[in-house]
Chains A and B, each alone.
Chain A
Amino acid sequence: MTKANPIWIGMKYISLLIAVFVVLYPPYIIVANAFKTPDEYLTKSTMSLPDSFVHFSNFADAFSQADMGRAFGNTIIIVCVTLLLNVLIGASFCYAVTRFKFKLQGPLVGLFLFATIIPQITTQVINFKTIQGLGLTNHLMGPTLLYVGADILQIYIYMQFIRNIPYDLDEAAMMEGASLFKIFYVVILPLLGPATATIIILKTISIYNDMFTPFLYLTKPELVVVSTSLMRFFGSNSGNWQMVSAAILIIMIPTAVMFVFLQRYIFAGVTQGAVK
C-alpha cells in the first residue's frame, strides 16, 4: 500500500485474472452453444464457437416453448404490484413511527426489527396454509402478498432515511397550513427517492430470482414465472443443451443489463441492505 512492490503488484493482477477467468469460463459454454444449429451441435465439439452469432432460432424456439412471454408478463405483474405496495406501506409506516411520539412506539419498532431473525424459509409450512386459507394459492396475488408481508427490508431502509430528513421541513410546511397527510406525500415521499430506488432494485432482483415461492404457490401452467418457466423447459429438454443454453441466456440477460446500467444504485443498495 505504500511502496509499489513489484511482486505484490504482479500477484494482484495474476489473482484478478484468475478470478476473471473463473467468473467468465462457466457462462462461456452456454454462449458458445446457444447459437449453434442442430447440425453444428452434433458435429462440433462442445467448446468450439458457433459459425455465426446471428443464429437466433434456438432463442425463438426456447422463448415460445418455455412460454416465456407469459412468464415475463406474470413476473412483471408480481414485481410491479409488490413494489407499489411495499413503497407505499413501508414509507407511510416509517413516517408514522419516526415523526411522532406515542405510547408503545418503542416496542412496536422493536417488534419489526426482531422479526428479521425469523428465517422466512422456516415459516413457509404455515404461510402456505395461510395463503391457502385466503384462496390465493395458484393466484398471482398469493406470492405478491408474501413478498409484501413477509419481508421488511424496506422498513429498515426507509426508517434510517427518514430519520436523516430534518424536521424543520415538516415544521415549515405546518406553518404554511399543510396537513400531516400532505406533509407526508408532498414533503417526505419525494425526498425518499434514493431510498425508494434502492428498494425497487433490490426487490426486483430478489423476486425475479426467487424460485421457491412460485414453485410452491403457482403450480398451474398459465401462472408460470421466469424461474419456473426455465425449470419446466429443462424438464422437457434435458440433454438438449443448445436449447437449454438459449433459455438460460434469455433468463439471465435482463438482470445483467439492469446491473450494468444501475450499478451505482445496486452497489449502494446491497451494502445498505446487508448492513441493516
Chain B
Amino acid sequence: MLSRLPFETQKRIIIVSFIALPLLLLLTFSYYPALELIRLSFTNWDGMSQEKDWIGFANYREVFTNPEIFGVFKHNIAYFVVGIVQNIAAIYFAIVLNGKLKGRYFFRLLLFLPYILNGVAVAYLFGYVFDTTDGSLNFLLGKLGLGGETSWLGSESFVNYTLASIGFWRFMGFNMVIYLAALQSIPADLYEAASIDGANNWQKFRFITVPNIYKIIELNLFLTVTGALEVFDLPFVLTNGGPAGASETFVMKIIETAFQFNDYGLASAMSVVLLIAVVVVLSIQRYFLNRGRD
C-alpha cells in the first residue's frame, strides 16, 4: 500500500513520524529541564505551591558564600586525586596487556570485572572490607604488622579517600580497556621503524604511544573530572555523608536540598553551578583537543 505512494511522499512521512517522538523526548528530558533549572534558580519555589517569587541572584549568593554548600566541593577533590592515579595505573596495565604476554585475556577479563558489578552491591562489599573490627583490610594490615584498628569509614580526615579508592577498584579496568583499544589501533610498523632507528622503550612510549593515545587520555581525564564532580552513590549508600558530613558530596547536597528541604530554587541554582562546571571542563578539553589538531 505504502509502496504505491511516490518516494517523495514516503520520505516526508518517514521523516516526520520517525523524528517526532525522539525529538519530543529529547526536548522534554534534556532541554526543558536545563532551561527550567535556570529559571527556577532565580526563584524561591518550594516545589509545591503555586507561587514562586523572583529573588534575583540570592540563591547563587547562597551557593557560593555558604561554606556548608560550596565547601563540600573539597570532598570531591579526593575523587579527582584518586582518579588521576587510577588513570596512570590504567595506562600502565593497558601497555602491559597490549604486549605479548601469557594469559593476557584472562588478566583483562579479571581487571575489568569490577566495572560491571552492581554499584550498591560493591558499596556494601567494601562496607565489609573496611569494617573496623571484622573487615578484611584491617585483618590483612594486622597480619602484616601495620596496625589493624583504623576506622576507614569513620575518620573525617580520610573518609573521602577511602570512598574514592572503591571508585579506583571499580573503574580502573574500564579506563584500561579504553586505553587498550587505543593502543591496539597504533600501527605496529611505527614501533618497528623506531626500533630500527635505535629508539629505546621509553622513547617509544614518549614519542609514539603518548601522542597516539593523547585524545583518549583526554577523554579519560574528562570522565574522571566529571565523575569526581558527580559522585553520589558510594557515599550515599555507605556513609550517608558521615561522619559529621565529612563525606557529603555536591550531588548529595542537591538531592537533600530539593527533596528533603523542598528548596527547589536553591537546588536548581546548585544544579546550574554543577552544569556550568561540567560544561567548562568539557570546553577546555575541546579547546585543547582542537588546538592539538591544527
**Which residues of A pack against B, CB within 8 Å?**
1-2, 8, 12, 15-16, 19-20, 22-30, 33, 46-47, 89-90, 92-93, 95-97, 100, 102, 108, 111-112, 115, 117-119, 121-130, 146, 148-150, 152, 155, 174, 177-182, 184, 205, 208-212, 216, 226-227, 230-231, 234, 241, 244-245, 248, 251-252, 255-256, 258-260, 263, 266-267, 270-271, 274-275
Contacts and interface: CB of A to CB of B under 8 A. Distances in A.
A228 to B, nearest CB: 8
B201 A119 contact: no
A125 B258 contact: yes
Given A127-B29, A252-B121, A118 B275 contact: yes
B119 A227 contact: yes
A103 to B, nearest CB: 10
8 contacts: A26-B129, A93-B19, A111-B23, A119-B278, A125-B264, A208-B118, A226-B118, A259-B113
Interface size class of B (residues with CB under 8 A): 35 or more
A20 B116 CA distance: 16
A121 B2 contact: no
Contacts of A212: 232-233
A20 to B, nearest CB: 6
A138 B271 CA distance: 24
A24 B26 CA distance: 41
B22 A26 contact: no
Contact of B101 (A2, A12, A121): A12
Contacts of A266: 116
Given A100-B15, A121-B230, A179-B3, A115 B121 contact: no
Interface of B: 2-3, 5, 7, 10-11, 14-15, 18-19, 21-23, 25-26, 28-34, 36-37, 40, 47, 92-93, 96, 99, 101, 107-122, 124-126, 128-129, 131, 134-136, 139-140, 169, 173-174, 177-178, 181, 191, 195, 201, 204, 216, 219, 223, 226, 230, 232-233, 237, 251, 254-255, 258-259, 264, 267-268, 271-272, 274-275, 278-279, 282
Given A92-B18, A130-B29, A270-B115, 10 more contacts: A20-B111, A90-B22, A112-B22, A119-B275, A129-B47, A150-B30, A212-B232, A230-B120, A256-B113, A259-B109
A230 B118 contact: yes
Contacts of A129: 47
Q: Chain B's interface: helix, strand, loop or mixed, by majority? A: helix
B14 A96 contact: yes
Contact of A28 (B114, B136, B272, B274): B136
Task: Specify which of B36, B92, B204 lies most central, judged by the most chain A CB atoms within 10 Å of its CB.
Answer: B36
A61 to B, nearest CB: 16
Contact of B255 (A124, A209, A267): A124
A27 B230 CA distance: 26
B33 A29 contact: no
Contacts of B119: 209-211, 227
A252 B109 contact: no
Q: Chain A's interface: helix, strand, loop or mixed, by majority? A: helix
B117 A255 contact: yes
Given A90-B22, A270-B178, A19 B118 contact: no
Given A97-B19, A125-B254, A216-B259, A230 B274 contact: no
Contacts of A258: 116
Given A23-B114, A182-B2, A152 B26 contact: yes
Nearest to B201: A1
Contacts of B232: 121, 212
A111 B101 contact: no
B14 A180 contact: yes
B126 A26 contact: yes
Contact of A26 (B136, B233, B254): B136
Contact of A149 (B28, B230, B255): B28
A248 B259 contact: no
B223 A274 contact: yes
B125 A27 contact: yes
A23 B113 contact: yes
A255 B132 CA distance: 29
B32 to A, nearest CB: 7
Those 7 A-B pairs whose CB atoms lie nearest each other, nearest first: A126-B33, A123-B33, A149-B25, A96-B18, A179-B3, A179-B2, A149-B29
